């Protein structure tokens, strides 16, 4: 069993149920290779943590931006709980050092690891909620995540990249972008898509994601950066 005591000290959250803490870090692939373990993977905790995260973030944004409508607040929330942002936060917290993965998954340190870390963050939130209650889970999310929102709003990272790139490409080039799946790898529960964005026959950029929609958004944002259309 991994010693989580340093992580508990770092987050200042000492679990009553240590097995619940450990379960938050167990990826499905680890269970497949470790049939002897009595714990299950973290996907149920992730499901719960995702709901807690959405409520906490929604409440925060509702009270912080009292002059914004629900459409803009929804866009802010989507940008803040984006898998890339959450993955970066999880990495900064040191969660990568505690992941329980299969040998194959442990070798992958690229984009796929970022998504695993994002899922682990949500699972950890679910575990904190069960073990410590809503207030502690809320405070953890506030301390680790809320600092990102000012930059997101300032840089307008909340805007829908696909809509914006279509608007800009039609305005400047009279072209409607198209998207094409370049690769699709991984088992059904952990798919990874690479999508290209094209202006006519020209591929402008690529994006990756756990779904086609996520990969398309990533490709659109990279295209906006490539064309210097982000104001």
| Residues known to be catalytic | 50, 122
User: For 159-173, what is the HEC assignment?
Assistant: CCHHHHHHHHHHHHH
* Consecutive H or E run containing 179: strand 178-185
Chain-centroid distance of CA 36 in Å reads: 30
Q: What tokens does 114 get?
A: 């970022």
Residue 207 Cα to chain centre, angstroms: 15
Helices 134-145, 83-92: axis angle to 10 degrees equals: 90
Here the tokens at position 127 are 């575990």
């Amino acid at each position: 069993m991994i010693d989580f005591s340093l992580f508990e000290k770092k987050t200042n959250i000492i679990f009553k149920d240590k097995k619940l803490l450990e379960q938050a870090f167990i990826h499905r692939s680890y269970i497949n290779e470790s049939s002897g373990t009595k714990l299950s993977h973290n996907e149920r905790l992730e499901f719960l943590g995702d709901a807690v995260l959405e409520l906490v973030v929604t409440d925060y944004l509702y009270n912080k931006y009292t002059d914004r409508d629900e459409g803009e607040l929804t866009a802010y929330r989507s940008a803040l709980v984006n898998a890339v942002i959450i993955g970066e936060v999880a990495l900064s917290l040191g969660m990568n050092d505690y992941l329980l993965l299969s040998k194959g998954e442990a070798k992958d340190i690229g984009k796929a690891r970022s998504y695993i870390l994002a899922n682990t963050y949500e699972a950890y939130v679910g575990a904190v909620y069960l073990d410590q209650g809503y207030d502690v889970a809320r405070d953890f999310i506030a301390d680790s995540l809320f600092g990102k929102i000012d930059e997101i709003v300032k840089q307008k990272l909340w805007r829908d990249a696909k809509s914006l790139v279509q608007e800009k490409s039609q305005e400047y080039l009279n072209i409607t972008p198209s998207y094409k799946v370049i690769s699709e790898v991984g088992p059904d529960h952990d798919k990874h898509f690479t999508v290209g964005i094209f202006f006519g026959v020209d591929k402008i950029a690529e994006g990756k994601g756990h779904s086609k929609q996520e990969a398309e958004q990533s490709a659109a944002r990279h295209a906006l950066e490539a064309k210097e259309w982000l104001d």
